A and B are shown apart, each in its own frame.
Chain A
Amino acid sequence: MSDNIEKVKPEEVESNFLTAKESRAISKENRRITDAIEKQRNRRNVAESEYTTQMKNPENVVEFDDLKTYFYTDIGVVKAVDGVSFNVPMGKTVGVVGESGCGKSVTSLSLMQLVQRPQGQIVGGEIRLNLGDKVYDVAKVPSAEMEKIRGNVVSMIFQEPMTSLNPVFQIGKQINEVIVLHNPGVSNEETKRRTIEILDTVGIADAEGIYTRYPHELSGGMRQRVMIAMALVTNPRLIIADEPTTALDVTIQAQILDLLRTLKDKINASIMLITHDLGVIAEMADYVVVMYSGRIIERGTAQEIFLSPSHPYTVGLMASKPAVNRDVDRLYSIPGTVPNPINMPNHCYFKDRCPRAFDRCEGEYPGEYFISPTHSAACYLYEDMDNAAKTR
């Protein structure tokens, strides 16, 4: 049982203690930083040229480039997303995996500009969003312009369908609202026709009947279908699915995943699938991004990640999940817990939990080392391999 006992010394834990004076100083400093960013954001009549940019590869829908989203809290700065770069190609599914608190949701919320302001701020990097005829850098787009993009070009499916639907409005009304908002001047009949059509598309048998129902009258699976209908009704280029099936039963999960797959092909959208369930990712994703403590530690195609996981964290994650018909006497468990997100040290964040840590790991945070052209890991174990590939 020895590996289960976390070896934490009392002194280490107490180091997070702050006096009231220190806390006040931090708040004051935070307010200075966030006020400056907010002032920059809230200017009127920002010229479009300020936030238009160019895609590195026009085949991508979204390119995250060194994205940094920080939260300025009273006990210090939480670097929720700290230098994340990856691309979502057109018509493909990118899976983002990681444990709770690793920054996967904040990455997607940054893209939607839904990070809680003023504490949460995008402080660096670019999120290039391909709108077809032009490219916006979402990190700089003003709020008014963002309202036209959010829910239209990029839409989102949330985890809890019950809390994401408004309990006092009929299902039909809630979907109508999306259509009217993004297509001003559309007639009432046309709106209703499109709502019923989309409800039909997501596999709701009695679309006309559901139109006048309230969310509490539907089951969990049905509510999630309504959420998907709402996300798809504007024909988005990218759908962000944030743990879309976590609250559902396996049988319903199978229905919803099947639906997402068929619909994606039908409207030719890309999906950014955020989940902690490796099984769901394996089934859905073309590309996989593994996150840990606000950084990407490994990325590659689904085949590469699942068949030859490289980063010790990914390996541990795969081994710790029991799989049906795979007999193990004892589950592998990653020792320790996720580090405190405040005042992260400048060495590999996984070092203290890593079974393969060596003296090189004491150095600064490892860069991204490529194992194959599409597969990379942020781990010194692969430094030589990367160098070899470069000199070749």
Chain B
Amino acid sequence: MQQKQDNVIEVNNLKEYFPIKSGLFGRVVGQVKAVDGVSFAIQRGKTFGLVGESGCGKTTVGKTILRLYEKTDGEVLFRGQDIFELSHQELRKIRPHLQIIFQDPYSSLSPRMPVGEIIGEAVREHNIVPPEEHDEYISKIMLACGLQPYYKDRYPHEFSGGQRQRICIARALALNPEFIVCDEPVSALDVSIQAQIINLLSDLQKEFGISYLFISHDLSVVEHISDTVGVMYLGVIVEYGSTKEIFSNPLHPYTQALFSAIPVPDPTVKLNRIILEGSIPSPANPPAGCKFHTRCQYVMPICRTVVPKEIDKDGHLVLCHLYDEEVMKEKVWTGNK
């Protein structure tokens, strides 16, 4: 990924391993490779969608980018600055620009704080507006997120799921962020409410030029909202490209299987479904070679031993031996032998 001026976030070869400890003294006996070399960039005002099954490391990527976890390796550049090199004070200054919306609006709001306080706490802390304009500012933000300002004195339990998610969005938006990690923001909501929240997120993006990292397992939502998409499997992005390109022409066998598994709301469509056997292997003990080879329908001997290289097809990156011309040539050759 070339250095570009308008990239808000750039992630280069990010790794995040969690130690597995056991025994009396907490000896480290292994590592869970939650994120194992992930690279992508997000442009200003654009959305990058990250899809994959549960346990593939999507959420860890989101949290590590915000330095909620300390990285194992790699770098995360925000406006060209590595956020892992910042001191505590510098990080504090940058924090308002990097925000997150969590999946579950029921557990991510403090039940003992009124809504105005939830949204306004960080605003006051970071001196976003002068104290005398504070109240007015909160009302403005709440209106932008479709909440009535008189809700300010209510507590989260008085709201429905969709409204709580609006509160979470307002809380993130109040700090004038440039970049928001949306970690499954609509998964816990009903379909009709989902549409409201998705529309709200895209409206806010248009109005304020915010960039999103949109993490979801719902492919149809990701397709709708994203400009570029990365498909993750066991800690690596196996396919990366523009949304249009990935959805119209999926290359990686995993992406193909994932897309074919989406139920289509039309009973006349006969599905040509690729059903994957088994489930995602444990990231504590990932398969050697290509991580997907245990479930892949096109598996070749080389997949079991050699990690595939990143193949670039006009900006559409795929991590698979099938598209590596050298490997395919060799395979034909060994096949003849």
Contact = CB atoms under 8 A, between A and B. Distances in A.
Contacts of A307: 266-268
Interface in A256-308: 257-258, 276-283, 285, 302-303, 306-307
A280 to B, nearest CB: 5
B231 to A, nearest CB: 12
Interface string B176-208: 000000000000001111111011101100000
B196 A333 contact: yes
Contact of B150 (A10, A279, A330, A337): A10
Interface residues of B, number: 49
Contacts of B143: 5
B113 interface: no
Nearest to A353: B192
Contact of A306 (B193, B203, B266): B266
Interface stretch (B24-32, B34-42, B220-228, B312-320): B220-228
A271 B190 CA distance: 23
Contact of A251 (B194, B268, B276): B276
A34 to B, nearest CB: 26
A4 B199 contact: yes
Interface in B222-241: 223-224
Interface in A224-264: 249-255, 257-258
A322 B198 contact: yes
B287 interface: no
Contact of B261 (A4, A221, A250, A320): A250
A144 interface: no
A168 interface: no
A144 to B, nearest CB: 38
Contacts of B268: 303, 306-307
Contacts of B68: none
A28 interface: no
Contact of B146 (A1, A253, A324): A1
A325 B247 contact: yes
B160 interface: yes
Contact of B198 (A219, A317, A331): A331
B302 interface: no
A183 interface: no
Given A5-B143, A99-B191, A221-B279, A324 B220 contact: yes
A47 interface: no
Contacts of B279: 219-222, 249, 251-252
B54 interface: yes
Contacts, number: 140
B192 A282 contact: no
B224 to A, nearest CB: 4
A332 B275 CA distance: 32
B199 A337 contact: no
B144 A1 contact: yes
A334 interface: yes
B262 A320 contact: no
A322 B221 contact: yes
Main secondary structure of the interface of A (DSSP, over half): helix
A324 B190 contact: no
A4 B196 contact: yes
A278 to B, nearest CB: 4
Nearest to A279: B263
Interface in A167-197: none
B95 interface: no
Interface in B163-180: 163
B285 interface: no
Contacts of B20: none
B267 A321 contact: no
A328 interface: yes
A324 B275 contact: no
A317 B264 contact: no
A303 B146 contact: no
Given A219-B279, A255-B276, A337-B162, A320 B266 contact: no
Given A6-B146, A219-B279, A322-B224, A331 B264 contact: no
A232 B258 CA distance: 28
A251 B261 contact: yes
A279 B220 CA distance: 11
A322 B265 contact: no
B262 to A, nearest CB: 6
Contacts of B81: none
B203 A321 contact: no
Nearest to A102: B190
Given A324-B262, A333-B199, A337-B193, 7 more contacts: A4-B199, A6-B148, A219-B279, A255-B276, A279-B262, A282-B265, A282-B266
16 contacts: A1-B203, A6-B148, A221-B279, A250-B261, A250-B262, A251-B261, A253-B263, A254-B276, A255-B276, A277-B263, A306-B265, A307-B267, A320-B191, A322-B195, A322-B224, A324-B220
Interface of A: 1, 4-6, 8, 10, 99-100, 219-222, 249-255, 257-258, 276-283, 285, 302-303, 306-307, 316-318, 320-325, 328, 330-334, 337
Interface of B: 53-54, 143-144, 146, 148, 150, 160, 162-163, 190-196, 198-200, 202-203, 217, 219-221, 223-224, 247-248, 257-269, 271, 273, 275-276, 279-280
Query: Which 4 pairs of residues, A with B, have the shortest CB-CB distance?
Result: A279-B263, A320-B195, A322-B224, A333-B195
